[in-house]
Structure formats: structure tokens, C-alpha cells
């Protein structure tokens, strides 16, 4: 939690930017894992956390711009709660720490909203992503779930604030990135043939927990790196495998780190692994060199894809003009995802508000395979924090589909690709802050080049 002045200033700017109406903030409730009292790890809604700073279940809030009121709705703990949870500050005391003086019982929020509607006020709300949010919006405002699209002015005003990270936010993100780096470095050191994936994950979890951190997302640690979001950890690592890790830590304030690394199961890469790894490294390093204020991140994505095509041509896997191949989408056989995304209180920052607003400023997204997965396309600006994570993958099912359709035969040498169909995947990822003059990597450096990785093996 930051100083209360931070939250007061954030809310004041939001009110100024929207101008009128009632702003509704839905905090998150507890979620039962397999019965009500055995819950998943609690995580507050990030927008609620940004403006109100309170990481407690059962809260909602209203900013009534027209009446100049800021109210937190929730219920004080009873003796039954205290027996199980221990003594805590009152809700009024907690609210005072973030500059809120008015607290009302949770049941009163529906009456407040109904009065606002009768007065002709606009009630702004955000797109719901949890079932309890959808039920509350239906009960409180009478909006069916299928029509709960959220208020565009509210969304855009929040994106306009949360996209630019303050110095104190960057400090928190960097803490998360430092722990994230230690998680990856530990995994690189302990990985050996004969281990199970979950043994490596356990070592990474130990690093996070020993630094009072949670995971910012479900860890990917797999010998099947060609599956982009592979959360299964039951495989035994064999000699000759590539091990892909995508993992991050979340610090107590809620800010996230997100890094990826790819490690040979053996002490060194095989010649074939090293050749492909060096192409991926070149993609990454050229993308990082291009980072600066004003450059559209989609242009950086295109650059990374052209670098990959040129490298794959040298291996005989692709052919033709690189710029044409990228424009047509042939590169996506090996690079089917984007280059990166915003990062902050969410590891994919503000994704629940919509990629169209966060990464595209309301402009339409491409529908081209691969390119459509680029989450951030707009020109970079000082204060943005985002990931750089190009990858190269050999996905047998995708290879078979495109080969059967004779797709992009002018750019792809399918006979040569067949020799790599069981190669797996490679991804390396770092987190960057855009500055006034360029960009700065956040957190400790994790090994990136083949030589750096092998030095830890």
C-alpha cells in the first residue's frame, strides 16, 4: 500500500477526466476451491487496488463525481470472524488509510445506485470478468450479463492513468522482477536430466515464497515448449530436451514480474538447438535496441519477425523476401504469438478492460494468424512497462495443417521443416520501462545468450 496521498491523487485525476456521473468499483470476493470455506488465494481486483489500495474481500466502492462523494461499501467483522481471523483494524480505519472517510454497509450500495439512476446520473462500470461481478451488476443495475459491456469513457480514463507507471510503481515492479529473475536463475542451475518438471517448479516456488511473493500467473515449466501455455508439470526431463520456463513473481503490493528463459537439459546446447536459439536471441536483441518513445510496438514486432525469417532462411527452413513473408503472415508458422504486453498490477496489465483500448487505443486489431495475438501495438511512451518476448516454435499439428493446405509454399520449405518437427520451442523474455530517451530493463539480468545460459549449467 502506498501513502494515502497517492490514492487521493489518483481518484482526483480520474474524476477530473470523466467529469460527471457515478463510478462503480467492484472489489473481488473470496472464491471457493471445492467448497465455500476452502478458498483459492485471494487477489483483489487490480483497478480497485489502484484507486483504493485495500486488499480485502467483500468490498465495493463508489465515486459520485456530481455529489463529490467517495464511499467504500463493506461490513465490519463480527466476533465470529475475529475468532477465525484475529483482531484487525475496522473497515473505517482501513479506509482512512487511503483517504476515504465515508463507509457504508455493503447492503446499502444498491439503494445508492438506484437513487443515482432516478436522479438521471450515469452509472459507469467496468467489464466484469468474474461471475459474482456479473450477478451484482444484474441485481444492482438490472443489466443482463450478455449486455454488461462496461462504460467506454470509464475504461479509457483508467487506461489513460494506469498505462503510465509512476516512480513508486516502477520500484514495486522492479522488486517483482528481481525475484522473478532469481526464480529463473535457480531453475537454470538445478535443471538436470532425470528430474521431473514439478521438481524444478518447486525450486522456483521456494524462491518466490522465501521473498514473501506470490506467483503473478501459473508457471510454465516444460519440455514441451511448443505448447505456448503448457501448465502441466508431470514430464521427466530427458537428455537432449529443451526446457522452456515462463514464470513471474507478484510482490505484496500486487505488482508483477514476467520473464521467460529456455535451457538445455544437458550442460550445453546441441548444434541444432544453438542455431535456432541464436536466431531467437537476435530477434530479442534487435527488438530491445529498437525500443524508444514514439515507435509503434507493432513495428517492433514486425522487426523481430523479419529477423527470424532471415535466420530461418539461413537454416533452409524459409525462403523468399523476409518483408513479404512477414506481411503475408508466413512467419507465424514458427512465431504464432505477439512480441509483448503491458505489465503492472496485472501481469497482462488491464487485460480485463480490453486489448482494443489498452494496446490499440480503440483501433481495430489484425485478424491475421500470429499478428492478431500482438497485445500491444500503439506507439511506446515514457512510463510504459511492457514485456519483450519473441519466440520460435515447431508445432507438429500446425506444421501438418499448413503443409496439407500448401500454405505459404513460396516462403516455407516444408521438407526441411519436417526435420525439426520434434524440436520444441524457445522463448526468452525481459521486462522494460520506456524512458524519455529509450528503455531500461527492469530487474536483475537473467542469462540470455547461449554462452550465458551454458555458464550456469
Q: Residue 86: which pLDDT band, with cuts at 50, 70 and 90?
A: confident
Domains of the chain (ranges; CATH) run 4-163 (3.40.350.10), 167-456 (3.90.230.10)
Q: What would the mean pLDDT of 257-281 be, rounded to a whole number?
A: 98
| In contact, 381 and 432? CB cutoff 8 Å | no
The pLDDT, as a whole number, for residue 14 is: 98
The pLDDT tens digits for 39-78 are 999 999 999 999 999 999 999 999 999 999 999 999 988 8
Q: Residue 366: which pLDDT band, with cuts at 50, 70 and 90?
A: very high
| In contact, 244 and 220? CB cutoff 8 Å | yes
**Three-class secondary structure of residue 227 per DSSP:** coil
Which residue in 415, 390, 410 sits closest to 316, CA to CA? 415
Residue 384 has pLDDT above 90, yes or no: yes
* Placement of cell 438506484 in the chain: 114
The pLDDT, as a whole number, for residue 441 is: 98
The pLDDT, as a whole number, for residue 79 is: 87
For the chain, what percent of residues have pLDDT higher than 70? Answer: 100
Cα separation values, 316 from 56, 303, 319, 334, Å: 56, 20, 7, 14
The pLDDT, as a whole number, for residue 82 is: 85
Dist CA 259 CA 401 (whole Å):
30
Q: What is the DSSP letter of 145?
A: G
Cell numbers found for residue 170: 516502477
What is the rounded end-to-end Cα distance, in angstroms, of the chain?
A: 39
Dist CA 101 CA 96 (whole Å):
6
| In contact, 296 and 338? CB cutoff 8 Å | no
Which residue in 74, 59, 70, 92 sits closest to 22, CA to CA? 70
Dist CA 328 CA 326 (whole Å):
5
Q: What would the mean pLDDT of 418-440 be, rounded to a whole number?
A: 97
Half-sphere exposure of 26 (CA within 13 A, CB side): 25
Q: Which of 80-94, 148-162, 304-318 has the lowest mean pLDDT?
A: 80-94
The pLDDT tens digits for 195-242 are 999 999 999 999 999 999 999 999 999 999 999 999 999 999 999 999
The pLDDT, as a whole number, for residue 1 is: 83
Which residue in 97, 126, 139 sits closest to 28, CA to CA? 126
Q: Residue 85: which pLDDT band, with cuts at 50, 70 and 90?
A: confident
Half-sphere exposure of 120 (CA within 13 A, CB side): 0
Q: What would the mean pLDDT of 430-456 be, rounded to a whole number?
A: 97
For the chain, what percent of residues have pLDDT higher than 90? Answer: 96
Dist CA 103 CA 92 (whole Å):
6
Averaged pLDDT of the chain: 97
Q: Which of 13-22, 46-55, 70-79, 272-281 has the lowest mean pLDDT?
A: 70-79
Q: What would the mean pLDDT of 292-314 be, rounded to a whole number?
A: 98
The pLDDT tens digits for 159-172 are 999 999 999 999 99
Dist CA 372 CA 366 (whole Å):
5
The pLDDT tens digits for 122-157 are 999 999 999 999 999 999 999 999 999 999 999 999
Amino acid at each position: 500500500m502506498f501513502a494515502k496521498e497517492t490514492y487521493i491523487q489518483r481518484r482526483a485525476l480520474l474524476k477530473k477526466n470523466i467529469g460527471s456521473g457515478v463510478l462503480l468499483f467492484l472489489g473481488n470476493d473470496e472464491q471457493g476451491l471445492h467448497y465455500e470455506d476452502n478458498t483459492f488465494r485471494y487477489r483483489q481486483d487490480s483497478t480497485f487496488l489502484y484507486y483504493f489500495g485495500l486488499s480485502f474481500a467483500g468490498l465495493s466502492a463508489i465515486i459520485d463525481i456530481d455529489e463529490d462523494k467517495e464511499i467504500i461499501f463493506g461490513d465490519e467483522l463480527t466476533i465470529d470472524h475475529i475468532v477465525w481471523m484475529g483482531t484487525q483494524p475496522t473497515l473505517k480505519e482501513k479506509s482512512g488509510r487511503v483517504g476515504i472517510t465515508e463507509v457504508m454497509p455493503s447492503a446499502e450500495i444498491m439503494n445508492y445506485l438506484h437513487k443515482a439512476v432516478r436522479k438521471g446520473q450515469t452509472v459507469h462500470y467496468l467489464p466484469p470478468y468474474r461471475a459474482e461481478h456479473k450477478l451484482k451488476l444484474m441485481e444492482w443495475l438490472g443489466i443482463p450479463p450478455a449486455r454488461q459491456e462496461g462504460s467506454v469513457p470509464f475504461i479509457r480514463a483508467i487506461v489513460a492513468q494506469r498505462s503510465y507507471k509512476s516512480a513508486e510503481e516502477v520500484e514495486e515492479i522492479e522488486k517483482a522482477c528481481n525475484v522473478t529473475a532469481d526464480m529463473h536463475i535457480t531453475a537454470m542451475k538445478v535443471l538436470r536430466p532425470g528430474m521431473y518438471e514439478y521438481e524444478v517448479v518447486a525450486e522456483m516456488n521456494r524462491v518466490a515464497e522465501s521473498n514473501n511473493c506470490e506467483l503473478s500467473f501459473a508457471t510454465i515449466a516444460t519440455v514441451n515448449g511448443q505448447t505456448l501455455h503448457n501448465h502441466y508439470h508431470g514430464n521427466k526431463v530427458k537428455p537432449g530436451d529443451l526446457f522452456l520456463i515462463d514464470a513471474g513473481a507478484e510482490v505484496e503490493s500486487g505488482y508483477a514480474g514476467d520473464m521467460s528463459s529456455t535451457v538445455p537439459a544437458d550442460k550445453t546446447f546441441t548444434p541444432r538447438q544453438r542455431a535456432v536459439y541464436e536466431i531467437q536471441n537476435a530477434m530479442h536483441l534487435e527488438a530491445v535496441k529498437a525500443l524508444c518513445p514514439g515507435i509503434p510496438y507493432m513495428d517492433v514486432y514486425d522487426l523481430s519477425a523479419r529477423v527470424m525469417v532471415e535466420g530461418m532462411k539461413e537454416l533452409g527452413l524459409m525462403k523468399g523476401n523476409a518483408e513479404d513473408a512477414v506481411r503475408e503472415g508466413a512467419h507465424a508458422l514458427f512465431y504464432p504469438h505477439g512480441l509483448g504486453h503491458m505489465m503492472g498490477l496485472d501481469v497482462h496489465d488491464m487485460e480485463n478492460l480490453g486489448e482494443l483500448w489498452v494496446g490499440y487505443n480503440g483501433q481495430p486489431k489484425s485478424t491475421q494468424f500470429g499478428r492478431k495475438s500482438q497485445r500491444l501495438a500503439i506507439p511506446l511512451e515514457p512510463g510504459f512497462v511492457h514485456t519483450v518476448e519473441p519466440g520460435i516454435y515447431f508445432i507438429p499439428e500446425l506444421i501438418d495443417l499448413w503443409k496439407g493446405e500448401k500454405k505459404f509454399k513460396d516462403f516455407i520449405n516444408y521438407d526441411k521443416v519436417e526435420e525439426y518437427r520434434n524440436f520444441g520451442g524457445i522463448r526468452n523474455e525481459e521486462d522494460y520501462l520506456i524512458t524519455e530517451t529509450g528503455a531500461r530493463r527492469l530487474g536483475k539480468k537473467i542469462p540470455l545468450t547461449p554462452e550465458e545460459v551454458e555458464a550456469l549449467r
